[in-house]
Amino acid sequence: MLDIKLFRTDPEAVKAAVARRGDDTAAVDRVVELDARLRAVGTERDDVRSEINSLSKQVGQLHRDGKGDEAAELQARSRELGGREGVLAEEAELLQDKLRDELLHIANMPADDAPDGLTEDDNVVVRVEHLQDDYADHQKVPHWEIGEELGILDVDRAVRMSGSMFAMYRGAGAHLLSALINYGLDRNRDAFEQVRPPTVVKTDTMIGTGHLPKFADDAYHLERDDLWAIPTAEVPLTSLVAGEVLDAADLPMRLMAHTTCYRREAGSAGRDTRGLLRVHEFDKVELYSFCTPEQAQDMHMEILERAEQAIRDLGLAHRVLDLACGDISGAGARTFDIEVFAPGADRWLEVSSVSWCSTYQARRANIRFRRSGEKGTEFVHSLNGSGLAVPRVWAGIVETFRQVDGSVRIPDVLQPYMGGLTEIPVPA
């Protein structure tokens, strides 16, 4: 959530930020108008309350002085004002709810150095690594065909169980999945505390990251219990310290979590839905940090480097993109994406988004910190990134390391997690 003070002091700057994303600037005008009305109503309500309190004191004194008639007149006036106070209080509460709703729908302000542009075509390629000049024919087979041939990916049965855009890993394919998870966790244990949070959360928890109310259509809602299946571990990790005041000496706080994630992918029917390109359920290792404003830039680069190094050590061709303003998620101020090239699918697959969210999420979840020797508090900055998102990395490995005989070589860094298996062989 953006600071309401920005709308009061510099609404044009907020409009400019909203416009950089391609969003409707009329929302800023609505916030400014609602805030002005709320403050006016609040001032009148407080004045009425003050007058009621003053009359109450006068009535008491008049009773003590034996002036009952005069006291009765003031009591009548006080009751009249009490009715007005009730009307004003109700109006203020309604305005407050409307204002909060408007603020919750406005995305974060993009960083000044985020590239301008409204679509993914405007994203800036920062670097490309390991991309081959040409891939051999045996590598140009899509992973869903390889998975079926080797018996390691069973999409048909998963669809029978759960519907379209679900997948099931089997045998060495399931082993490869768990290997990637453990690989993603182990390489970050030196600095990040592992957390295993719940994967269904309350509505307020989803609001805290900005996934609600704006992206409700993309989330799975368990209506009977009013709980939401998390789309990413970023959601519960943000709320780990919701409502708390952290000590600046304890920052940056580094957290990581492996969870299953759920996304409805609304509007994606018939688009990139084969194999593991776009699925409703997937495993991911998330890296997360709370920090001070001064630490945010270095932490952003640290999470990006850790995420990219994991892909680099797997030997996968990849590129890093600096996302244009219109392609950044609602909570992000600056985002770098890591994409792996899948030669069989013949496309770049996003495997990690590393985002700096400034104070946007901290304001929603009310997470502050206090500097040593200072009385006041400040909102923390939050950052997140996929340390390793399994499905598309799995796809990239299966396609990139497919051998001439149809087997798949296991990258060296994953072999310690594969129980001595160095390749996934072709069934006899």
What DSSP string runs through 94-124?
HHHHHHHHHHHHSPPPPPTTSPP-SSGGGPE
Coil, strand or helix at 9: helix
Q: What is the pLDDT of residue 268?
A: 61
The helix (H) or strand (E) run that includes residue 234 is helix 234-238
Q: Are strands 281-291 and 253-262 parallel, antiparallel or unpaired?
A: antiparallel
Token digits of residue 15: 């409009």
User: How many Cβ atoms from other residues are within 10 Å of residue 191's Cβ?
Assistant: 12
How much is the pLDDT for 71?
A: 85
Task: Show me where the domains of the chain are located.
Answer: 4-105, 120-424
Least Cα distance to 311 among 416, 202, 396 occurs for 396
The CA distances from residue 120 to 125, 263, 326, 384, in Å, are: 11, 20, 8, 20
pLDDT of 64-86, one tens digit each? 888 888 888 889 989 999 999 99
CATH fit for domain 120-424, picks 3.30.930.10, 2.60.40.1180, 1.10.10.10, 3.40.309.10: 3.30.930.10
Cβ(296)–Cβ(253) below 8 Å: no
C-alpha distance from residue 33 to each of 7, 12, 90, 132 (Å): 10, 14, 18, 56
Tell me the helices (H) and strands (E) count for the chain, helix number first.
Answer: 12, 16
Judged against a pLDDT cut of 80, whether residue 270 lies above it is answered with: no
**Residue 267 pLDDT greater than 70, yes or no:** no
Ranking 28-37, 175-184, 267-276, 373-382 by mean pLDDT, the lowest is 267-276
Give the pLDDT of residue 161.
97
Residues 6+ apart with CB under 8 A from 168: 153, 154, 155, 157, 158, 161
Average pLDDT rounded to a whole number, residues 234-251: 98
d(Cα 62, Cα 51) in Å, to the nearest integer? 16
pTM of structure: 0.94
Is it true that domain 4-105 has CATH number 1.10.3720.10? no
Checking if the pLDDT of 171 tops 80, the result is: yes
pLDDT tens track for 84-132? 999 999 999 999 999 999 999 999 999 999 999 999 999 999 999 999 9
Calculate the average pLDDT of the chain: 96
Q: Nearest Cα to 2, choosing from 332, 324, 359?
A: 359
Strands (E), 357-401: 368-370, 378-379, 381-389
pLDDT at 272: 76
